Structure 1
């Protein structure tokens, strides 16, 4: 009996020690370490809103977002391109108080807001492998992007870039003109049929889904050797998955939130499994076909076999993750940019006329070659101005994977850096007093002639992590916009409501509605 009591007391003691150890580790991770990091930053003169223990500034952020949403709902906003402060209204409030360079926290995640021109320049020029994608991206965005090229770091990212980059080089992109032309005309023919059925003018047409079909068909054919009909279910589920993940974007620093059995988390888990199975089905069909393919999918399959390391999820996850990356990025990038571009041209008829005249002069009704597209200077300027006013990303984020020194600032390991793209793209100090106006002429002499700090223009990211697919995206945009202009005149439909919102990208909340007339 005494032995049993002795063992019982021993187990209690061991349990108490284990519990105490866990509490100490949690305290170190959630309280002491974040406080130490903030103290190191404060010593360098960096301030910011005071955080609360465990939550950081999340409560303040959510309160501000809730208030802002009520204000926006109360009155329909006019068409203005000065909308960035409405997306993340807590940032301009902090900016007024702490300047263009300050720190804040989401949970125990410490973040530096960077809008100072000198630091932006230093960060965009950095080639250090230790300035990488935020580690929380793989956790929070894992269901959507996994360990694909958009979220990975270090040797894995270097390997992915090495094998995938050549698939999106200019020499291969040049050969995709005919493919993009065909995919676009399928949709535009449906618009023509509707115009004829409605007596020569369509008073209202919702273009967003049609543009997604064009870009989806292009990426399916160019990268996966199929068509949009076959990949439609994958695209649809990825869009729903993106919507679900965007709902928890401000909880990135709260440990364990993604494991809670909430309805949102259950939906994310279900969609992740379904997308995974659908992509593996496409891969299985490819392997069983016995045909020789030379496209993105085949490159990913071969890359998974030949790598000299084992990705955390194994070969299967290497394939699925990189396919999800190209599915998500390549389709949405083009479709959303094209939507905003057509909105701007619809509300600026003088530019619509100028670019249409250029397109008809350079290639008319024929299929243009790559050199013709390159000569369309006005068209390029309009696309650049669209991406300035409506960049896809709200912010580009990086993380110090090790202690770093950038622009004289010592950045502790684990600290995130946020550069707000919308803010940088419209800063009057960089772009002039007309920074919120649609003026494509500012790009007449290129990016360096458009603003005081070229590094402040980053529609496709910056540095070594710049988007690999930017050449394909620009080619698609030129062809899609050029074809719409050469076939139709258009204006904004009375149903159009201008309300940019932030999901994982900057999107039109109610879509783009146009009135179309066939030329």
Structure 2
């Protein structure tokens, strides 16, 4: 009897092992080749699938090779072959729509604007945001960036009020206050030097400034706890991009516990507030149907914190870079700011009004061109939730879709022969005037899931620029190395050292 039981156990174990092997072979071998054949019959090819890793090993090798190359010329804005060398190569080999593999997951890359429109607008309900590395969800938490379906709609209804018109007025005021502190620091550095100029790392200042603003938007205060959220997020970005791994990072645990502590303190005090945390807690205490759970509030704080801070800092960094290498545009914008940013009496400078910022047409055109050439997010990823057809291509459920923003923004077919060149005047009549297609400009995405913080980032950076331009001129330091890199968002690899000069030379200024 005992021998029979042992034999049964061995038999069941053998069956289980065979089942697991067959499932693995189906998932890792048969299915990928069948899917490749399915797309090839539709005229879509790509790099060959490799067992388990798909295209990942080839992608990583190309990235490593690019890091050893010499820096780009300062005036070159065609960095696509450095940041995403695999997309650059495969697009040249296989055309504007091709198949590649993220492990065993089939992924379609496309710059077909009709397909892009259907994914982001027409059939958006059929697609999920799907992030390959679990570490990204730990950076952003369960918030607007990572949720899907009904959960995303619920988060959206709770969070969107912080991006309404009245809230944006306070963002401009908070940004003005933070910029004044930054300007005071620059003046202090200049005084300690030769009294006329100083070298600063604009990337560091941009991060510090936007961090201070987003802290107040979310928590209503600047605190040590929220700074730890920022530090943890930055470390996570590096690891996500370069390790393709999900290591245990102590900073993430402390960041979550810090937000938890802030929530507990706010609940205990009974103080609401009109910041993001206050809005979420108000719904939570009233047990509203649309309220977020405790864990969801933590995730949303991390989401808005990471996304809001990084997008503003990235846009400001690259805007300052471009003005440093195109001094004629720096002077054009300075004249516009001095002309338009005045109170009714014509004397005291004023940039604390959204209405005033709306008059700065050249600055708006310049920032659109900055976003086109140096979009904060290089690409978007979506996952099909069911079988579907897009732009006459049939997709199976579970297929990933890559929308390469940086490649779309440089398409000569869309933008003309000068697509790789800096030319803000292309936006003289807006995005539609430049391309006749709103889906050609995707710095903040498009459609229902477009970034809700677009106006927030634009107002934040416009406010900073109006204050800096009338007080300082700036140029690149000889220490700058032009090597953009992708850390979830696009950043200069070695920072942005600038030489800033005080235009007032010790004069008293009402900024």
TM-score w.r.t. the length of structure 2 is 0.92
User: Given the alignment, which residue of 411, 415, 429 partners 1:431?
Assistant: 415
SS of 2:401's equivalent in the other structure is: strand
**8 Å contact kept, 1:216–1:228:** no
User: Which structure features the higher share of helix residues?
Assistant: 1
Alignment deviations for residues 36-86 of structure 1 (CA, whole Å, 9 cap, x no partner): 33333222221111111211122222222232222x14x664431011121
- Match of residue 263 from structure 2: 283
Mapped to 1, the partners of 2:203 and 2:356 lie a distance apart of 27
49-58 or 342-351: which moved more?
Answer: 49-58
SS of 2:266's equivalent in the other structure is: helix
SS of 1:104's equivalent in the other structure is: strand
- Match of residue 165 from structure 1: 160
Equivalenced residues, count: 496
330-339 or 207-216: which moved more?
Answer: 207-216
- Match of residue 181 from structure 1: 176
TM-score w.r.t. the length of structure 1 is 0.91
Mapped to 1, the partners of 2:332 and 2:124 lie a distance apart of 43
Flag the 1:222–1:117 CA change in 2: closer, same or farther, 3 A: closer
Taking the TM superposition and a 5 Å limit, the aligned residue runs for 1:77-476 are: 77-134=73-130, 136=132, 139-227=134-222, 229=224, 231-249=226-244, 258=246, 265-267=247-249, 270-303=250-283, 306=287, 315-364=293-342, 365-476=349-460
Flag the 1:407–1:303 CA change in 2: closer, same or farther, 3 A: farther
Flag the 1:283–1:111 CA change in 2: closer, same or farther, 3 A: same
1:229 Cα deviation from its structure 2 partner = 5.0
1:408 Cα deviation from its structure 2 partner = 1.9
SS of 1:44's equivalent in the other structure is: coil
Alignment deviations for residues 99-133 of structure 1 (CA, whole Å, 9 cap, x no partner): 10010101111110101233234334324311221
Flag the 1:125–1:233 CA change in 2: closer, same or farther, 3 A: closer
**8 Å contact kept, 1:213–1:228:** no
Alignment deviations for residues 258-296 of structure 1 (CA, whole Å, 9 cap, x no partner): 4xxxxxx133xx232121111111112211222231221
Alignment deviations for residues 117-175 of structure 1 (CA, whole Å, 9 cap, x no partner): 332343343243112212646x3422212321101111111111111112212232134
Flag the 1:131–1:344 CA change in 2: closer, same or farther, 3 A: same
Flag the 1:309–1:411 CA change in 2: closer, same or farther, 3 A: farther
**8 Å contact kept, 2:128–2:384:** yes
Mapped to 1, the partners of 2:304 and 2:386 lie a distance apart of 29
Flag the 1:146–1:514 CA change in 2: closer, same or farther, 3 A: same
User: Which blocks of at least 5 consecutive residues in structure 2 are unaligned?
Assistant: 343-348, 504-511
Flag the 1:506–1:156 CA change in 2: closer, same or farther, 3 A: same
Alignment deviations for residues 198-223 of structure 1 (CA, whole Å, 9 cap, x no partner): 12233421121211111111111122
User: Which blocks of at least 5 consecutive residues in structure 1 are unaligned?
Assistant: 250-256, 259-264
Mapped to 2, the partners of 1:33 and 1:55 lie a distance apart of 14
Mapped to 2, the partners of 1:68 and 1:320 lie a distance apart of 38
Taking the TM superposition and a 5 Å limit, the aligned residue runs for 1:481-500 are: 481-500=465-484
Mapped to 2, the partners of 1:302 and 1:17 lie a distance apart of 55
198-207 or 416-425: which moved more?
Answer: 198-207
SS of 2:273's equivalent in the other structure is: coil
370-379 or 17-26: which moved more?
Answer: 17-26
Alignment deviations for residues 343-402 of structure 1 (CA, whole Å, 9 cap, x no partner): 100111111011011111111423431111101111111111111100011101111111
- Match of residue 262 from structure 1: none
- Match of residue 261 from structure 1: none
- Match of residue 501 from structure 2: 517
1:33 Cα deviation from its structure 2 partner = 3.1
Mapped to 2, the partners of 1:155 and 1:219 lie a distance apart of 26
SS of 1:410's equivalent in the other structure is: strand
The root-mean-square deviation of aligned C-alpha atoms, in Å, is 2.0
Flag the 1:7–1:309 CA change in 2: closer, same or farther, 3 A: farther
